[in-house]
Structure 1
Amino acid sequence: MLRIGCHLSSSKGFLAMGKEAVKIGANTFQFFTRNPRGGKAKALDPEDIAAYLDFAKEHGLAQILAHAPYVLNPCAKDEGLRQFAFDTMCDDLSRLKYIPDAMYNFHPGSHVKQGTETGIAYISDMLNRINEKEYQTVILLETMAGKGTEIGRNFEELRKIIDHVEDSSRLGVCMDTCHVFDGGYDIVEHLEQVMEEFDRIIGLNRLKAMHLNDSMNKLGSHKDRHEKIGEGNIGLPAFCAIVTHSKLRHLPFFLETPNDLDGYQREIALLRKEAEL
């Protein structure tokens, strides 16, 4: 069965997110670990987590995705900002041990005119330091559109980060369809070739999740503007090809389109129907 969900607000707790997911036909979901622009995370509620885990087992919810706040920049020029990213991620990962099946996704960051190699070195160094804490959660690097000095604008940059992490056994990739399309990868006309390139450079075994987002912009724009499924420049046929692809259909898919819950419900139903044809 297609594993598909959307981004839900964590403000009401895990059980509430689980119930919202089931209500809209989802069997997974993504959430921010805290305010996406930063700030402290809410105190853990053991009773809520226990109730969620029981509910998830009963309703077939599996392998949810925690998203780090956007404000983190592991390759910032300022050492204090890099330390803030490290401290925040450690705090998030320490909390995620209570949700054993969850994965953790983050944006690699922007090198801010320090150069790509310097940025990659900072990110890898942070991941090596995190590994010393022996967290068990799988950490995902997200593919980026390439705005400004973003790291992760192509598969090669992500590969370099992975290569500089001493133990990369729990390190994977989340592919964002809008980001890779805006980054110049033609998943509309040449999906198979893009997947082959990803496999050659990174390895499909590293691909652990996908963000499904249409794009307001054209191929290679490097702008990163999400659109509803089928209403952008990627188009519905490409998404149908993605969710039914023999090497992708086993992955969890997460919608990050500009939608309310009703809109997500329609998109989930649409893609589920296409996947079952």
Structure 2
Amino acid sequence: MIFGCHLSIKDGYLGAAKRAYSMNAGAFQYFPKNPRSLSVKDFDQNDAALCKAFCEENNILSVSHSPYPTSLTPINEQKRNQVIQSLLNDLEISDACGSIGVVVHFGKEVSHLTLLESYQLIIEMLNEILSEWEGNAKILLENNAGIPGAFGTTLEELVQIRRLCNYPEKIGFCFDTCHAFSCGLWDGENWDLFLENALVLGYLDHLKLVHFNNSKYDTRIGKDRHAPIFGPGYIKETQFDQLVQTPQFANIPFVLETPKEEIPHEKEIELLQEKWGDHGKVKN
């Protein structure tokens, strides 16, 4: 398996890649710029190129995560324009770093729009962004957390949005285990049913990343609070085992977004490798 975690770019993109290597990680996730801003970043092209070369040389996969204010369902025209320019910037940075793509949250139902109009807005946003994008990095739509039936919590929604977009080849998926557990999409006991549905829908054909997180709350509560994989979380080790051992997940990076204050990510990656093995980067 390929295990990694979210890392800071305080020492640059190359610095993050070197940190992943030092942790014996096969992958890492990063914010391409300030995670609390939609401002367009004039990034260091040389640093990004060095990051890409280092990752290729050491068999490390990378992926970026769009800043927190990013939304595919912006509430007004000003926010819409900001998000579009910001995501194009994120894609450019990610492509320069050789990353798989940019993780983007599915979006939220807009209060002044109908449910259908909210879905249509997501498609419009994706079409506008991807019509201008010609690089290799993809937008990776992430499943939402929430109570059962909340907006963006089903595989059907994710697959249908991709299908209806004018540029489906530029869109992949990110599966967050805590989010899925939060809404009961995967409640720990229904993996076979989840997998069957994912295969029928073609979801796994476009899955590029797993956000590997335990949950501090029980399933179907709607709480998005991450916990370490091994510990007091509500997802059991045997339940994670079903996911990890599924053949369709063998070459997909599993990236931790767990609270590193509780278990340092370096230690947690070590535990993951001891439990399930690491077929990502291997040091010489």
TM-score, length-normalised on structure 1?
0.91
- Structural mapping, 1:124-143, within 5 Å: 124-136=123-135, 137-143=137-143
Q: Which residue of 2 aligns with 1:184?
A: 184
Deviations 1:62-101 (A, max 9, x none): 2x11100121122133222222211111121122331234
Q: Does 1:46 align with 2:45?
A: yes
The structural deviation recorded for 1:43 is: 3.1
CA distance in 1, matches of 2:68, 2:257: 14
Q: Which residue of 1 aligns with 2:234?
A: 233
CA distance in 2, matches of 1:233, 1:61: 30
Decide whether aligned partners of structure 1 residues 120 and 26 sit closer, same or farther in structure 2, where only a CA change above 3 A counts.
same
Deviations 1:159-179 (A, max 9, x none): 231132012012111000000
CA distance in 1, matches of 2:153, 2:102: 19
List structure 1 segments (4+ residues) > 4 angstroms apart after TM superposition: 147-150
Deviations 1:125-156 (A, max 9, x none): 11111221133212110011136996412112
CA distance in 2, matches of 1:23, 1:3: 15
Kept in 1, the 8 Å contact 2:38–2:82? The answer is no
The structural deviation recorded for 1:42 is: 4.5
Give identity over the alignment, percent.
30
Counterpart secondary structure, 1:247:
helix
Q: Which residue of 1 aligns with 2:117?
A: 118
Counterpart secondary structure, 2:248:
coil
- Structural mapping, 1:67-106, within 5 Å: 67-106=65-104
Decide whether aligned partners of structure 1 residues 187 and 132 sit closer, same or farther in structure 2, where only a CA change above 3 A counts.
same
- Structural mapping, 1:1-277, within 5 Å: 2-40=1-39, 42-62=41-61, 64-113=62-111, 114-136=113-135, 137-146=137-146, 151-230=151-230, 231-260=232-261, 263-276=264-277
The structural deviation recorded for 1:209 is: 0.9
CA distance in 2, matches of 1:131, 1:91: 12
The structural deviation recorded for 1:104 is: 1.2
Cα RMSD (Å): 2.2
Kept in 2, the 8 Å contact 1:70–1:107? The answer is no
Counterpart secondary structure, 2:96:
coil
**Structure 2 unaligned spans of 5+:** 279-284
Counterpart secondary structure, 1:157:
helix
The structural deviation recorded for 1:34 is: 1.9
Give the counterpart letter for 1:104 in structure 2: V
The structural deviation recorded for 1:183 is: 1.2
